[in-house]
Chains A and B, each alone.
Chain A
Amino acid sequence: MSQDDLINYLVIPVVKIAVVLGVVSGLVAYLTLLERKVLGFMQLRLAPRRVGPSGLLQPIADGIKLLIKEDPTPDGADRALFVLAPVMSIIPAFAALAVLPFAATPFEIFGYEFTPFITDVNIGVLYILSITSLGVYGIILGGWASNSKYSLLGSLRSAAQMVSYEVPLGLSIIGVLMLAGTASMVGIVEAQRQAAWWFFVPQVIGLFCYFVSAVAETNRLPFDLPEAEAELVAGYQTEYAGMKFAFYMMAEYVNMIVVASLATTLWLGGWLRPFPNVEALEFLNFLNWAHPALSGIFWFALKVFLILYIYIWLRGTFPRYRYDQLMRLGWKWLLPLSLANILVTGLVLVLWK
């Protein structure tokens, strides 16, 4: 094995993974701050602003607080699983970052090629769907291992919700896959460049179904029944404290980022600027003077940020759904709607070509 092989197959992937992990962890910390800020402004409050200049160091203070907090294990808990469950929740969340394409053009550093995504596999979408659905094990095991009735009931509700919404989530993506003709994340964005429009134009119903089920899938308000602080004593997280609790929270926010990135890639054109084929709008890629990948990352980050903002906006607006309403929405509305979307997309594709 030559030195080049060693660098290409070992060093470069490790560096890329380290960069992505670090950046996303930092983003997660500041996403919590953004959420608190936006919610505060929506409720005419002042958001956190005592730590650092206008509260900018608040996430760090929160992190330190969670690190040094007492971390008790409840009596009669399954100790091994109790520790393992938060880890099983956070690993799939981070693992899903592996196939997200942040930009296309590779960086050249020391003569080696650094692609701005960790890897591009030809079943990227499938990989993300399967790996994110593993997160439900962390929740179920956490509820089971806690030896607490609140935790167990909360985790059961959570499992039912996540399994139900997996179905419309997967089905709503199929329309895009049919249009793109590939399941590779980079390939889908390239297909959007060739189609000259982002796929949310022909697939707006798919995007709607995906977004609603993604909110439910990540256990966010208005579908945060597993947690439901007000009526359910925080569900599966009841017995968790300190770093283990932080792992659950981080998993939730990383899942938000993953889901938003997936929506960006599939429907909103990934790293493409608006109207990717109109030459006159080339100035929108204003970071090209530094590196073409930078403007790609800029557009990708902007779209992800907008989707995350909508997440927070939804949380600030809507009350929590009731359990039966949640199930009715999932099985009676989103499932038929996404099936009809697949049917119509297929018909149009067959008749068009």
Chain B
Amino acid sequence: MSRALRIIKRFIPYEMIQGMMITLKNQWRPHITLEYPKETPELHPRFRGVPRLRRDPDNGEELCVGCLLCEQICPDNCISLVVDKRPSGKGKYPKSFIIDYERCCFCGLCVDPCPTKPITAIYMSHDYELSDYSRVEFITGKERLYEGHPLKKYEK
């Protein structure tokens, strides 16, 4: 029986038909293309976009205490801080906090040593749509680090 089957398989292009069946089946499967500007991908929780700053969710104060650990660990030297005494209460705060997104390599090392509790002041955001008309726009100051890079919505 199996021998007869083998002989039959020799005379009909069995593997070719198998291959054609695969392409036929694939036609009816849903596509995996994402029509990007219209649809956006679902990001994983630990997706590393550009690093940004955040405030204390309870009282809206700046979380950053100006310890300079992120500035020191940054492999690209793209973070620079000017630290000053906090006007209210004790401790320090960053008078200016600049991240050069052009140099940033999205490694996430700045987040690891950040000492603020319970959440880190600097964090890897889910922003990835970064394009602008001049290179200066990527040297990001404190305002944009809190608010995010301005985005233009896709319209069609």
Q: Is the interface on chain B under 10, 10 to 19, 20 to 34, or 35 or more residues? A: 10 to 19
Can you pick out 24 interface pairs between chain A and chain B where the beta carbons lie within 8 Å of each other? Answer: A38-B27, A41-B28, A41-B31, A42-B26, A43-B26, A44-B26, A44-B29, A44-B30, A44-B31, A45-B32, A45-B33, A46-B31, A46-B33, A46-B35, A313-B20, A313-B23, A313-B24, A314-B20, A316-B23, A317-B16, A317-B20, A317-B22, A318-B16, A318-B19
A34-71 CB mask vs B (1 if < 8 Å, else 0) is 00001011111110000000000000000000000000
- How long is the Cα–Cα vector from A318 to B16 in the complex, in angstroms? 8
Q: Is the interface on chain A under 10, 10 to 19, 20 to 34, or 35 or more residues? A: 10 to 19
Cβ-neighbour of A42 out of B27, B32, B33, B35 (below 8 A): B27
**Contact residues in B for A40 (Cβ distance below 8 Å):** 31
A-B contact count (CB 8 A): 34
Which residue numbers of A lie inside 8 Å of B, CB to CB?
38, 40-46, 313-314, 316-318
Interface of A, secondary structure class, is helix
**Contact residues in A for B22 (Cβ distance below 8 Å):** 317
Are the CB atoms of A44 and B23 closer together than 8 Å?
Answer: no
**Contact residues in B for A43 (Cβ distance below 8 Å):** 26
Report B100 CB to chain A, min CB distance, Å: 36
Are the CB atoms of B23 and A317 closer together than 8 Å?
Answer: yes
- How long is the Cα–Cα vector from A314 to B20 in the complex, in angstroms? 7
Report the nearest A residue to B24, measured CB to CB.
A313
- How long is the Cα–Cα vector from A44 to B33 in the complex, in angstroms? 7
**Contact residues in A for B26 (Cβ distance below 8 Å):** 41-44
Known pairs A44-B26, A46-B31, A46-B33; list 17 more (Cβ under 8 Å): A38-B27, A40-B31, A41-B28, A42-B26, A42-B27, A44-B29, A44-B31, A44-B33, A45-B31, A45-B33, A313-B23, A316-B23, A317-B20, A317-B22, A317-B23, A318-B16, A318-B19
